[in-house]
Amino acid sequence: MPDYSNDPVRQRRSQIARLNQIANRIGYALFGIAMFCFVLAFIIGFKGPLVTTVTTCLIAGSVLLAPSIVIGYAVKAAERDDLENGR
């Protein structure tokens, strides 16, 4: 990451990008857990706890991942705009 110590806007944007990356990783991890539990449930039978885990992971992953993807594009677009305008 470049040094943004003199620009508060870019410093805040960098902080948001780091938090967004964490949310993105957690969201994809939850989707991975949901897929693993679904395959496991398919093999051993769809029992209550596995179905609950799959459903919970899918909902939580979607809640984290949907805004994370949009925010990621916004941060990249703002950085690109700053670079194109010489800021």
Specify the pLDDT at position 2: 58
Confidence of residue 86 (pLDDT cuts 50, 70, 90): confident
pTM of the model: 0.81
Going by C-beta distance under 8 Å and a sequence separation of 6 or more, which residues neighbour residue 26?
Answer: 64
Q: Taking all residues of the chain, what is their mean pLDDT, rounded to a whole number?
A: 91
Residue type, 36: F
pLDDT of 66 > 70? The answer is yes
Domain boundaries, the chain: 32-76
Other CB atoms within 10 A of residue 61 CB: 19
Residue 14's SS3 state is: helix
Phi-psi region of 65 (alpha: psi -120 to 50; beta: other; left: phi over 0): alpha
User: Tokens 């943004």 belong to which residue?
Assistant: 4
